Chains A and B, each alone.
Chain A
Amino acid sequence: MLEVLEVTKIFNQGSVNEKLALNNVSLKVPPGDFIAIIGGNGAGKSTLLNCVAGVYPVERGRIFLNGEDVTGLPDHRRARDIARIFQDPMMGTAASMTVEENLALALKRGAKRTLRWSLNETRRRLFREKLAMLKLGLEDRLGTPVKLLSGGQRQAMTLLMTTLIQPRLVLLDEHTASLDPKTALKVLELTRRLVEENNITSLMVTHNMEQALRVGNRTIMMHEGKIILDLQGEQRENMTVPGLIEMFHKVSGEKMQTDRILLT
């Protein structure tokens, strides 16, 4: 489904601020996988997601999506197959536009946008039906500007927008991190439902170790631009949070200074 092959990403190459963000990373993702990615700050988690999405060009290596080499394609040309959800709930929707307008934008993800009137009754009916599944009462607020919604509501809407047109791969970049615990749980549950119901392949960056072991079917740990741990199957089922920290020490050969960040 997705194959990252020996990808290297360097920021500010040739300057004093040069940073090796991804160091020869390879990752094979079969269809239907739901992978949680953990690691300290600056480990390269978000960079990996951004390289897969096409936001950053890579220095070395190739990225394949469904067997097709997409390494040279800009982000907007990968959007038909790849959907993204950001940490900041404000990033996933256009604040000044209404709920229905945002959904209409998402309905055309990766497709040609015409000069036809965008909203009609058929689409509104579809939006109402989909919004009702969120159980947030948004189906009665089609004409409300999104900026009047709460962070949790906006993130739930972003999730819905992501699945309106079925992507093959969804990239979740700490998408519950800036929500309050209760809302975060709700959004995570919704994520799981939408992803599993539609059998979408997912990569999810998280800072929450508990979540990383519980959600999805595979856990990857990154450190200094490399994948240092890849847990799945029985090995993952038997893993505990303290065990994960233990493994990090063993594999990275250093003490985890960001324990607190990883555990929150």
Chain B
Amino acid sequence: MNLTVFYGAVILGLLYALMVLGVYLTFRILNFPDLTVDGSITLGAAVAASLIISGVNPVVATLVAPLAGALAGLVTGTLHTKFSIPPLLAGILTMIGLYSINLRIMGRPNLPLLRQPVIFEYVARTGLTMRNSEFILSLCVALLFIFILYYFLNTETGQALRATGDNEVMMRSLGVNTDRMKIVGLGISNALVALCGALVAQYQGFADISMGIGVIIAGLASVIVGEVLLGSSRIIVWLMAVVLGSVLYRLIIAVVLRLGFQPTDLKLFTAVIVTIALISPFIKSYLEKLRERYREKNKLKA
């Protein structure tokens, strides 16, 4: 296989790792299946791309995107906690609403960033090639957020957030406003996702209205791949596993494309991966039952 393809997949994996960390935060830590992600990743891309095109410094544009994402998370969180809308529905409502908002922000379905300054160029100024600076920046950002999240999840507030996802009744009895915790968690998660969108848009050179479709499933697939490889109860290992999972997922996708599949087939492929991962416990227990029966039969014979 061509090494450039590999390199590109690793960079993409590191960039998408931010989104996967966000998904990990909601799905695994808060126990809240948040579908806002599909909308907020495009939101981040749309905000950053439009700002860059209107002449704003790309670094500033990249930093504004997560604020927009956090806002989207707040909406989902408020819908769920204040109005008791189930998590899935609350996320879908925000996601669908964001579709229109994103189109408004971009003005059209596709916003190219050709010949526009992007954040990666700041790293390239040190003399690195564009490819290498993309790699360095995405690696640094991924490592930075592993560290930030590791620290945060071990603070008093971060532990309260984790415990809210684990045992809400207990946390309320310990005086934590769990509604607020969930809103904060969703805000942080979607800020990460939007930041990912902003970086991906600059990396691929455009923002597109459909770039968010199925992202949540890709995120879940990455989380699962990471967990399978590095299952642990330690937070730091989890976070690294999640980032590693994101990179591996993009590598797998690159291989699949090489095998001759169309990019449009990828969604089905991803759906199948996640489905297999989700039903694997059932398959496992079924196989064990079979083995048990087989053993008993042998025993009877003996």
Seen from chain A, the residues whose Cβ lies within 8 Å of a Cβ on chain B are 53, 55, 74-77, 79-80, 83-84, 86, 90-97, 101-102, 104-106, 108-111, 113-119, 145
Contact = CB atoms under 8 A, between A and B. Distances in A.
Given A114-B155, A115-B157, A95 B166 contact: yes
5 contacts: A76-B177, A84-B173, A90-B167, A116-B156, A118-B155
Given A105-B174, A106-B174, A94 B156 contact: no
Given A76-B178, A93-B167, A119-B154, A105 B172 contact: no
Interface of B: 151-152, 154-160, 162-163, 166-167, 169-178, 233
Q: Which of A101, A104, A113, A145 has the most CB of B within 10 A?
A: A113
Given A94-B166, A97-B166, A76 B156 contact: no
B173 A97 contact: no
B232 to A, nearest CB: 11
A90 B167 CA distance: 9
B207 to A, nearest CB: 33
A113 B201 CA distance: 37
Nearest to B233: A145
Given A104-B156, A114-B157, 12 more contacts: A53-B173, A75-B173, A76-B176, A93-B167, A93-B170, A95-B166, A105-B171, A108-B175, A111-B175, A116-B156, A118-B155, A118-B156
A145 B175 CA distance: 22
Nearest to A113: B156
Contacts of B160: 105, 108, 113
Contact of B172 (A76, A80, A108): A76
A106 B155 CA distance: 14
Contacts of A116: 155-156
B172 A94 contact: no
B172 A79 contact: yes
B154 A109 contact: no
B174 A114 contact: no
A114 B156 contact: yes
Nearest to A108: B156
Contacts of A145: 233
B169 A91 contact: yes
B173 A96 contact: no
B153 to A, nearest CB: 10
B158 to A, nearest CB: 8
B224 to A, nearest CB: 17
Contact of B167 (A55, A76, A94, A115): A94
A92 B171 CA distance: 9
